[in-house]
Structure 1
Amino acid sequence: MATKGKLASNPSKKIFVLDTSVILYDHDAINNFHEHDVAIPIQVLEELDNFKSGNDTRNFEARSFIRLIDQTSKQKLISDWVALKAEKAGMFRVVFNEKPLKVDAEEVFGKGKTDHKILNAALSLKEENPDKKVVLVSKDICLRLKAKALDLFAEDYETGKIKNVDELYAGKTELTNFSEVIIDEVKKGNIINTTSIDFPFKDGNHFYVLKNKRKTANVFYNHNLKTISSVSIDTVFKIRPKNIEQAFAIHALLDPEIKLVSIQGNAGTGKTLLAIASALEQRKNFRQIYVTRPIVSLSNKDIGFLPGDAKSKIDPFMAPIWDNLRFIKEQFIGDDKMSEKIDELITTEKIAIAPLAFIRGRTLTKIFFIIDEAQNLTPHEVKTIISRAGEHTKIVFTGDIYQIDTPYLDSESNGLSYLIENAKNHPLYAHITLQKGERSELANLANELL
């Protein structure tokens, strides 16, 4: 039933006012505030109307939210409070252009800007409901600061955020004073059943460096089988791992039982190169190798602003992937047959390189699918990509959670961090964080000192 104007008094309940950035991050956000009430200013609907056309994820989020509100309201007026459909959820309402009596954000910060009208909507709700705590929820830090300056509570949208990114799962543990006997057995190539030895069990697949004085063994713990086995440092498609973390990454990329892999690390640690080389090594096992990345221009404008046809528009964004493929091809100088084979794979689109938006709606069957720069995805985008996986498909996410180009995402709220934290105990998943840069000493200088 719709409720007009002021809500019934319940001091423990809050009113959360969401801005456009929250909806574009998660179209289902209105259902994630438990028993509390949720409102959106009319300007948010207006902005979403501008975002509804297109193939980008934000366009999908905008369309999905509009449909959700349509289903929620049915025959009711959304200018009134209407009940949300989620179990034990609160009420929902769209707030119109109402000016608060006490503090006018447009008088303080300037007229004509949508953000200031959104602030006024929240301030008017605060005046209408003095017994309730009204909170503006936004991914926009500046808008939150303006709200607080006007004595209005404001916070980030927390759903999907990782609480302590500094303790994010790294995929590797070093064990000292480990049994020399076990180390020797592993190095001989034997697979050891961990149920019969003193071993710190993990809830998922994991890599270990076992040490005892001068002896070291690098092993993979298979959670399903409860076994540890040696990790090879052999080359993959003529790319040799330069450190043990890279060897761990290659092991996960080549293991047919692991269907989902994530590799996190600074620029120059070899994430994309290892993923592409491992895909090419297994090219006969997959129908296609697909390498993609989300398009995020520095000006945050759509690629439609760029001159030329579709290929000309996207090529600059795909250049780092082509650079890695070119580097791999250079390892086969003198081997004309393999060089021609790589060219053939590209020509026949056995290996395809394209923006992420181009694959929306497709079912990925028997595909080795690499998503580069995955830190620029939202948690919902990551979930959507994985849900597209058909039979015999392997999905690899690579990225650096501290190098984010997408507005309103950070190291805690991006899709790569979300995946690492939530998938770490799944038997189909493996993760490794690459620590050491291998691009050049100069690149390492930038990562370490600047």
Structure 2
Amino acid sequence: MNKVYVLDTNVLLQDPNSIYSFDDNEVVIPAVVLEEVDSKKRYMDEVGRNARQVSKLIDALREKGKLHEKIPLHNGGVLRIELNHRSFHELQDIFVEKTNDNRILAVANNLSNEEKTKEDGRPVIIVSKDTLVRVKADALGLIAEDFLSDRVVEVDHVYTGFLDLYIEKDSLDKFYEKNELTLAEVTNHPFYPNQFVIMKDALGGSSSAVGMVDKTGKKVKRLFTDHDHVWGIRPRNVQQTMAVELLLRNDLPLVTLIGKAGTGKTLLALAAGLLQTEDLGTFKKLLVARPIVPVGKDIGFLPGEKEEKLRPWMQPIYDNLEYLFNTKKPGELDAILAGMGSIEVEALTYIRGRSIPDQYIIIDEAQNLTKHEVKTILTRVGERSKIVLMGDPEQIDHPYLDEYNNGLTYVVEKFKDQQIAGHVKLVKGERSGLAQLAADLL
């Protein structure tokens, strides 16, 4: 049985191509949704870009027919702009105010009532990213769904970058002797290139080893880099050891790190970047950037020059740099950075149009990036550069993103089978006992 899907504005603003995500069913866009999209198209951000893209897509469909009638889509479905089912009469005693959300609900409710009068009436489903819209729809007896087609991965299936493998003691001894092991000898489990393997004694012995799958996905080899000391920082757990391996490998231009607050992502990345920029000279500059997305209510415009405006947003980066440089006095870090000249702390606002060669690039809080934004960033990376994307997908401040459709998760899943990329999920907090407990309990 065909279905009727009524789309909320936030679905179109999250994914302009969402109109093609409903197979051979009918997609209905209420007129009020067009008004909301129109009000957003002047925004100079991702929401504004998507609003303009939606406008262009719908305008292109006008060539196929009248928008208030059913226009065929290339996926077999049909789309129409709903103009006739706007009556608020049935809902006026339930929802007093005629807000845009309530007007969308009224359209879905009126369509549903009309379909129920038909012998072959179709189910009407309202699709919204807004939780309260779905709650209101359910209270009215309407079918409501979240828009999940933009999710990169299903719940609890995010790639971690490592796997526990229980093998025979003889195989462990062979690994230590030859510094590598053919995976076919110990398991038939498929592995991704550059995936880590934590090998343990199958009989419960204390022997264990950490290896990294080679680019063919057929052998596991000992870790290459010396993890004893990275700009004064020593890895405290096995996942941090894996992270340092990825951060120092010259053959992996893309590294992604995921972990809760306090797992050491930013500190390890900065330490590795300073080592390869200042000590080894592998890169000419260390570029650190993060998206400008506030936690809670925005504080508005900030006074001063660009550097002064950015300082509050970039303070977490400066906190880690103060720790690495062991600064004690106010202004001491600024003097050091000014003297070095090879460290640049920047907002992602200014990255479009740039080409960034020979640099070690760190993008912090990448979970607040959309798929389009993360594509924009990765396509800026020039020759002989290395980019590190890191963040915590469970701490997202962007209104239209969640743990499974953000740009960081998108990159992790799309690049997990590529030979030039490496990924690891940091699981143990090292900031403090309180920070780890808060991350787990809250």
| Common topology (TM > 0.5) | yes
Deviations 1:58-96 (A, max 9, x none): 222222222222222247432332223xx3331222223
SS of residue in 1 equivalent to 2:105? helix
Match of 2:292 among 289, 295, 299: 295
Alignment of 1:111 with 2:97, yes or no, is yes
Q: CA deviation at 1:282?
A: 2.4
In the alignment, the residues of structure 1 paired with residue 173 and residue 339 of structure 2 have an alpha-carbon distance, to the nearest angstrom, of 44
- 5 Å-filtered alignment, 1:220-369, equals 220-224=212-216, 226-231=218-223, 232-283=226-277, 284-299=281-296, 301=298, 305-308=301-304, 310-330=306-326, 342-345=337-340, 348=341, 350-369=342-361
Could you tell me whether the CA contact under 8 Å between 2:3 and 2:125 is conserved in 1?
yes
In the alignment, the residues of structure 2 paired with residue 16 and residue 388 of structure 1 have an alpha-carbon distance, to the nearest angstrom, of 38
Residues 388, 26 of structure 1: CA spacing in aligned structure 2 closer, same or farther, 3 A cutoff?
Answer: farther
In the alignment, the residues of structure 1 paired with residue 284 and residue 46 of structure 2 have an alpha-carbon distance, to the nearest angstrom, of 26
Residues 25, 384 of structure 1: CA spacing in aligned structure 2 closer, same or farther, 3 A cutoff?
Answer: farther
Q: CA deviation at 1:157?
A: 0.6
Number of the residue aligned with 1:125: 111
In the alignment, the residues of structure 1 paired with residue 357 and residue 70 of structure 2 have an alpha-carbon distance, to the nearest angstrom, of 45
Q: CA deviation at 1:14?
A: 1.7
Residues 313, 115 of structure 1: CA spacing in aligned structure 2 closer, same or farther, 3 A cutoff?
Answer: farther
In the alignment, the residues of structure 2 paired with residue 386 and residue 129 of structure 1 have an alpha-carbon distance, to the nearest angstrom, of 47
| TM score, norm. by length of structure 2 | 0.85
Deviations 1:86-122 (A, max 9, x none): x333122222374348733x44212231111111222
Number of the residue aligned with 2:26: 37
**Alignment size in residue pairs:** 427
Amino acid across the alignment from 1:89: G
Residues 449, 155 of structure 1: CA spacing in aligned structure 2 closer, same or farther, 3 A cutoff?
Answer: closer
Number of the residue aligned with 2:86: 99
More off after superposition, 138-147 vs 71-80? 71-80
In the alignment, the residues of structure 2 paired with residue 89 and residue 316 of structure 1 have an alpha-carbon distance, to the nearest angstrom, of 50
Q: CA deviation at 1:145?
A: 0.8
In the alignment, the residues of structure 2 paired with residue 339 and residue 244 of structure 1 have an alpha-carbon distance, to the nearest angstrom, of 34
Q: CA deviation at 1:306?
A: 4.6
Number of the residue aligned with 2:151: 161
Q: CA deviation at 1:140?
A: 0.5
- Structure 1 stretches of 5 or more lacking a match? 1-11
Match of 1:392 among 378, 384, 387: 384
Q: CA deviation at 1:434?
A: 0.9
In the alignment, the residues of structure 2 paired with residue 193 and residue 431 of structure 1 have an alpha-carbon distance, to the nearest angstrom, of 21
Amino acid across the alignment from 1:297: P
In the alignment, the residues of structure 2 paired with residue 196 and residue 13 of structure 1 have an alpha-carbon distance, to the nearest angstrom, of 48
Number of the residue aligned with 1:6: none
| TM score, norm. by length of structure 1 | 0.84
Alignment of 1:412 with 2:404, yes or no, is yes
Alignment of 1:144 with 2:134, yes or no, is yes
Number of the residue aligned with 1:8: none
Number of the residue aligned with 2:51: 62
Could you tell me whether the CA contact under 8 Å between 2:167 and 2:186 is conserved in 1?
no
In the alignment, the residues of structure 2 paired with residue 139 and residue 71 of structure 1 have an alpha-carbon distance, to the nearest angstrom, of 25
Residues 54, 311 of structure 1: CA spacing in aligned structure 2 closer, same or farther, 3 A cutoff?
Answer: farther
Could you tell me whether the CA contact under 8 Å between 2:166 and 2:200 is conserved in 1?
yes
Amino acid across the alignment from 1:264: I
Number of the residue aligned with 1:173: 163
Number of the residue aligned with 1:71: 60
SS of residue in 1 equivalent to 2:94? helix
Residues 308, 82 of structure 1: CA spacing in aligned structure 2 closer, same or farther, 3 A cutoff?
Answer: farther
* Identity between Structure 1 and Structure 2 (%): 38
Number of the residue aligned with 2:180: 192
- Structure 2 stretches of 5 or more lacking a match? none
Q: CA deviation at 1:399?
A: 1.3
Q: CA deviation at 1:372?
A: 1.5
Q: CA deviation at 1:300?
A: 5.3
In the alignment, the residues of structure 2 paired with residue 29 and residue 427 of structure 1 have an alpha-carbon distance, to the nearest angstrom, of 31
In the alignment, the residues of structure 1 paired with residue 293 and residue 335 of structure 2 have an alpha-carbon distance, to the nearest angstrom, of 33
Residues 428, 161 of structure 1: CA spacing in aligned structure 2 closer, same or farther, 3 A cutoff?
Answer: same
Residues 72, 396 of structure 1: CA spacing in aligned structure 2 closer, same or farther, 3 A cutoff?
Answer: farther
Amino acid across the alignment from 2:109: L
Residues 340, 40 of structure 1: CA spacing in aligned structure 2 closer, same or farther, 3 A cutoff?
Answer: same
Could you tell me whether the CA contact under 8 Å between 1:97 and 1:117 is conserved in 2?
no
Q: CA deviation at 1:184?
A: 4.8
Could you tell me whether the CA contact under 8 Å between 1:160 and 1:379 is conserved in 2?
no
Amino acid across the alignment from 2:312: P
Match of 2:69 among 55, 60, 80: 80
Residues 61, 366 of structure 1: CA spacing in aligned structure 2 closer, same or farther, 3 A cutoff?
Answer: farther
Q: CA deviation at 1:243?
A: 1.2
Q: CA deviation at 1:305?
A: 4.4
